[in-house]
Amino acid sequence: MEVPVTGIAFDSREVSKGSVFIAVPGTLSDGHDYIKSAIERGAVAVVCERLPPTITEGITYVTVRKSAQALGIIASNFYGNPSDKLKLIGVTGTNGKTTTVTLLYQLFTALGYNVGMISTVENRIIDDVVPSTHTTPNPIQLNELLKHMAKAGCTFAFMEVSSHAVDQERIAGLNFAGAVFSNITHDHLDYHKTFENYIRAKKKFFDELSPEAFALVNADDKRGMVMLQNTRASKHTYGLRKMVDFKAKVISSSLEGLELEVGGKNAWFKMIGDFNAYNLLAAFGTAVLLGEDPDEVLLHLSASTGAPGRFERVMPGSRITAIVDYAHTPDALKNVLETISAVRTGNEQVITVVGCGGNRDKTKRPLMASIACKLSDKVVFTSDNPRDEDPMEIIRDMQTGILPTEAKKTVVLADREEAIKTACLMARDNDIVLVAGKGHETYQEIKGVKHPFDDREVMIRVLKLLNDQGN
């Protein structure tokens, strides 16, 4: 056990001389099959759930009950337990994670702290941007990031915690000062198989919090109180409708922003829609639980802009209202379209461009199409990230969710750029065009290749052309 270790790896290809290799069973391959390869590359120790048939002399083998969990704990120890050196807050839920984490990053930066952020869009160490590949990185990347944050002097770190990350033990070994739950709706059933498994994964995050941590949940979501059932953390709630610890009331809502009454005080926010009222309230409650002054928190939150690609208006002042949103679940799409319906002022048409990702939960495809048709005047079905699937097959799956009477309001254009152009060309002055599904993403994934593609850039090109023609 006294063998010096110079690095850790769970991918045999990343093993270097002196590494410890953790053999983790995965969804596509099993790390136990690569123990021999890891040793050949220089691993001096192996952590595994079962010993290999052949034991190599001079190698230390450690058997554990769950190697994925051991990986998190080992990574945390290897990097000096960085989550103990700052206040780490995790935000989980189907929708709102990225916006809430971004709001907290912007808020605590404005309050004068050095802040770290780990999100779907990007990771940040104070002002430095570190590209993001997953909602929650793997345990080695995660602890390395946190170590850099602590070394840079970060006091707080705010991170998204996905259900995959909890299930795969990516956050094992981390010390969370607090956890926030936004909501839970239909998503990731391709991975979790059942809705109960999905809920259980979210709940596990709260079950494992320490007594010194806080748990803040959206009590308006029927699963919110479920998250608190077995947690040892202090329990807190937020919402718009129920008796809660942190409550807000929507005074007014428009395409310009939100006026909310929070804790008896009125404040104006640049963000749009009731769903953002929940995100703002989650950030407010978190900040107050972290000891910040409520009035100062409201003041800085009112200047926050949220995350890119989340109900983002493109070229305000154009003759049509163009909105890009990451909505890629039925509930998120419904929230965005209901928000648009609520802030419409007259006879504007709502034209929605929407697709569904390939190699992902197929059961949500007809639901997405149904919601788009019910809450839009016109719908353009298109390709999202088809991955290894045929885009037209995905669209046909979506079309099973619409009524024959709704079909006449739909157009099918698998080419996403053409779909966005067509939607903008169909729009009259003041109409609202929503492009849903990709938000901040700057690529389209087709057959294992990420092609450059940004909904916002396409819309800007089309809007400039339309504005020039209008002049």
Give residue-wise pLDDT tens across range 88-108.
999 999 889 999 999 999 999
Instruction: Give the integer Cα–Cα distance in Å for 399 and 228.
Output: 39
- CB 59 within 8 Å of CB 82: no
Which domains occur in the chain, in start order?
7-65 (3.40.1390.10), 80-301 (3.40.1190.10), 312-470 (3.90.190.20)
Instruction: Give the integer Cα–Cα distance in Å for 354 and 292.
Output: 40
**What does pTM read for this prediction?**
0.85
> pLDDT tens-digit profile of 207-255?
999 999 999 999 999 889 999 999 999 999 999 999 999 999 999 998 8
> pLDDT tens-digit profile of 276-318?
999 999 999 999 999 999 999 999 999 998 888 889 999 988 8
